[in-house]
Amino acid sequence: MENFIAYNPTELHFGKDIIKELGNAAHALGKKALLVYGKGSVLRNGSYQDTRDQLDKAGINVVEYSGIKPNPLVEDVDNAVTLGLENKVDMVLAVGGGSAIDSAKLIAVCIPEQWSGWDVMKGRRDPVRALPVLAVLTLAATGTEMNSVAVVQNNQRMEKFGYRHPVMFPKHSFLDPSYTCSVPLDHTGFGIVDLVAHVLETYFGQGDASLSDRFAASIIQEAMEFGPQLMEKPEDYTLRARIMLAATTALNGLVSYGRLNGDWTSHALGHQLSLLFDTAHGASLSIVFPAWMKHMKPRIGSRLEKLGEDLFGNPSADHAIEGLESFFKRVLCPVRLKEIGIAPDQNEKILALMNKNKCNGKNPDNHLNDLDREKIVELMYAE
Amino acid sequence: MENFIAYNPTELHFGKDIIKELGNAAHALGKKALLVYGKGSVLRNGSYQDTRDQLDKAGINVVEYSGIKPNPLVEDVDNAVTLGLENKVDMVLAVGGGSAIDSAKLIAVCIPEQWSGWDVMKGRRDPVRALPVLAVLTLAATGTEMNSVAVVQNNQRMEKFGYRHPVMFPKHSFLDPSYTCSVPLDHTGFGIVDLVAHVLETYFGQGDASLSDRFAASIIQEAMEFGPQLMEKPEDYTLRARIMLAATTALNGLVSYGRLNGDWTSHALGHQLSLLFDTAHGASLSIVFPAWMKHMKPRIGSRLEKLGEDLFGNPSADHAIEGLESFFKRVLCPVRLKEIGIAPDQNEKILALMNKNKCNGKNPDNHLNDLDREKIVELMYAE
């Protein structure tokens, strides 16, 4: 087992009508909030209005920045920072999914120091503080509600990646599964794939961590049992709750106890599809992950065999890969590029961007993989 | 699934030589520490000296209170509070197992307000602050290193129970499995039973929490796979690490996500044995828990069946009970009173104290159980 630190100070409020705890939490943190969100869905599912009601009741002044994109852009972060500085806000409150919350985290780091978002993302700054972040989650997927990571993209530079810093843990996150009941089927499936990918990328990290392996299998099994049921009954509160909790635990540190790192190559590869084609994050993963596993089989064979045993009671690497790919299909996610309309003539463009951004990962022995990106792209097109 | 809050701000430092991170952590919290420990074991296993070295290097002044008992007494807490007040300490640092750390938590609450420990334990005070607590753990058992609970006993009043308050989370806990390599076999087994009991008592709580059920089974399976191996190889670092991490996750909140509560009757019943006979905590549990499950079978039958399926692949309540009892024996723990030299003529005395202290619990429906304590004591004597 590797040495590790477990630290996660986020207070997670989970359940029906749990937003009623938001007013008091915000009141303790200041008087003026920058409210960050995307577009219409938070207006339709009630979360925006419930949040405003709570803030009004607590006497919090609100400045709004809306229009955060599903693949969130650093220019929106910078614009929101300007707005927050002009209005001297005390906290940043996101309502939405990963894009709103990730943006809010970066905004909260930039405001106190008047930094640009991209300087922080590129590691050119060394944060020691941030405004407090609160999150009202409306999509079960990224796990950002209980971790210190933000993923933001820069279209000018054609770069998208994650940045992690302990000052970015949300102070409070509010997870009412009801808000996710209206998430469309496609994005429901994308969220399920995203959470499973987070667990797998940690599972393929370095370190003999038997308990984390069990937790990892637990979360994936939860998704495999209840994900397909949810696709049949998308408005079922309990099924939404199970998937929402699974998504949070998939990336809150739990499955990395005893590991040195994870292998986040699939996320890195997937981000290039989002940059080029605005592919939804979860869809990029359901296409990339099987291709990555097939390509990596010679290196991670024994881990794939253990995964097969843990998930399907069959210690076969091929069975594990096929089982996951078939699960992705059951939650209605694409597993090849052609299913999202990307023809083989885009091959070179994809490969060029993956090469430019040096997509790769370490493991299973903490050395950079000798990744054949051309082969992986080929597998993403394969019949 | 029930509404719940997940909150655990403790920073857990886990691994070999991890104590080298203590100096910086303490330095950030003040200049003078009250160092709390029990007797000789922390001198023998090196943890005491390593801690002192770290504090010296960080320039922290140290006042010592030693002699905390394995079943910790509130009078030691009060004496340590007096010492801490006289010396104006900034933090409380425990080196040892649950008894030292639980005492430190209560001391840390009492010092700033000059309260008596028992007033806090009985809920007559309403803490809003505490001195920072640091813990160097040398026994895998109670999980106190990453939760906000303290269990302390009062021999004058013949009472022992747990008290929980969010100000009591340790700021930092340092878990080097090496320090546990010299724990004697009996206490190694007691610790394993203690961790399994924590998971089970949460498992029998109220709430349809499928993911927590999976995490619960994960932790118990970890203990069942590696606990008996550890009894064979007590100096194996990796086995010690697996059991240490299992004990922490057994009571850090993880398995209660989605539950309203747990059913802590077995701990309550076991505490009466510790009060009467100074029985080691883990030994009290390995005796009480099977008796409690047998008595409760009519009420918790479906949960026992699920437990049997989750742990042994056999959905039988009797099989689950027998399986756990036999596991307790495999880690060399007593499962009947006579094995620890308590003869049937003590029956009335035990029952009287259990009745006086109203040992009971709620669940599975959040109503107090209709507990026949006489029957349970009988089962603790049964052949």
**What's the pLDDT tens digit per position in A208-237?**
999 999 999 999 999 999 999 999 999 999
Query: Which pLDDT belongs to residue B370?
Result: 83
Nearest-CA distance from B174 to chain A in Å?
A: 9
C-alpha to C-alpha distance for B230 and B16, rounded to whole angstroms: 18
Give the pLDDT confidence score for residue A354 in this predicted structure. 95
Distance from CA of A345 to the nearest CA of B (A): 44
> Which residues of chain B are within 8 Å of residue A254 when distances are taken between CB atoms?
254
Start-to-end Cα distance in chain A: 40
| Cα atoms in the Cβ-side hemisphere of radius 13 Å centred on B60 | 28
Residue B258 confidence (pLDDT) above 80: yes
As a whole number, mean pLDDT of residues B367-379 equals: 91
Q: What is the reported pLDDT for A365?
A: 77
Please tell me the predicted confidence (pLDDT) of residue A364: 74
Structure-block tokens of residue A25? 């939490």
pLDDT of residue B173: 98
Q: Which of B245, B254, B256, B306 to mutate to test the interface with A (most CBs of A within 10 A)?
A: B245
Count Cβ atoms within 10 A of the Cβ of residue B377 and give its class: 0-12 exposed, 13-18 middle, 19 or more buried. buried
Chain B CB contacts of A4 under 8 Å are 14-15
A·B CB contacts under 8 A:
102
- Chain-wide mean pLDDT for chain A? 96
CB A217 within 8 A of CB A162: no
Mean pLDDT of B123-148: 98
Task: Tally the residues of chain A.
Answer: 383
Residue B366, pLDDT score:
78
Q: What pLDDT band is residue B17 in, cutting at 50, 70 and 90?
A: very high
Q: Say if residues B215 and A215 touch (Cβ distance below 8 Å).
A: yes
The whole-number average pLDDT for the span B277-281 is: 94
Q: What is the pLDDT of residues A70-106, one digit of tens each?
A: 999 999 999 999 999 999 999 999 999 999 999 999 9
For the segment A132-171, what is each residue's pLDDT rounded down to a tens digit? 999 999 999 999 999 999 999 999 999 999 999 999 999 9
Once rounded to an integer, what is the mean pLDDT over residues B344-371? 89
Q: Considering CB atoms only, which of B12, B241, B246 is closest to A5?
A: B12
Q: Chain A residue closest to B248 (CA)?
A: A6
pTM reported for the whole predicted model: 0.97
Residues of chain B in Cβ contact (below 8 Å) with chain A: 1-18, 146, 208, 210-211, 214-215, 217-219, 221-222, 225-226, 238, 241-242, 245-246, 249, 254, 257-258
Nearest CB to B15; choose among A2, A7, A208: A2
| Nearest-angstrom CA–CA distance, B291 and B300 | 13
User: For the residues B60-68, what does the mean pLDDT come to?
Assistant: 97
* Residue B11: strand, helix, or coil: strand
pLDDT (tens digit per residue) in B155-179: 999 999 999 999 999 999 999 999 9
Average pLDDT on A336-355 reads: 96
The pLDDT score that the predictor gives to residue B362 is 82
- B17 contacts in A (CB within 8 Å)? 3
Q: How large a percentage of chain A has pLDDT more than 90?
A: 96
Contact call for A210 and B222, based on CB within 8 A: yes
Question: pLDDT tens for residues B293-351?
Answer: 999 999 999 999 999 999 999 999 999 999 999 999 999 999 999 999 999 999 999 99
pLDDT band at B372 (very low <50, low <70, confident <90, very high): very high
Mutation for testing the A interface, residue in B13, B176, B178, B211 having most A CBs under 10 Å: B211
Residue A198, Cβ neighbours under 10 Å: how many?
Answer: 27
Quick check: B40 pLDDT over 90? no
Omega prior to B364 cis, within 30 of 0: yes
Hey, what amino acid is at B322? E
Q: What percentage of chain B carries pLDDT values higher than 70?
A: 100
List all residues 6 or more positions away from A116 whose beta carbon is below 8 Å from its beta carbon: A78, A81, A110
The per-residue pLDDT for A155 is 95
Task: State both tokens at B245.
Answer: 């991490």
Task: Return the pLDDT at B364.
Answer: 74
Per-residue pLDDT of B70-86, as tens digits, reads: 999 999 999 999 999 99
Report chain A residues touching chain B, CB-CB < 8 A: 1-16, 18, 146, 208, 210-211, 214-215, 217-219, 221-222, 225-226, 238, 241-242, 245-246, 249, 254, 257-258
Of A50, A140, A143, A138, which Cα lies nearest the Cα of A105?
A143
Domains, chain B, in order of start with CATH, read 11-179 (3.40.50.1970), 185-381 (1.20.1090.10)
| Set of chain A residues whose Cβ sits within 8 Å of the Cβ of B219 | 211, 214
The reported pLDDT for the residue numbered A368 is 83
CA atoms within a 13 Å half-sphere pointing along the CA-CB vector of B96: 27
Question: Hey, CA dihedral for A354, A355, A359, A362, is it positive or negative?
Answer: positive
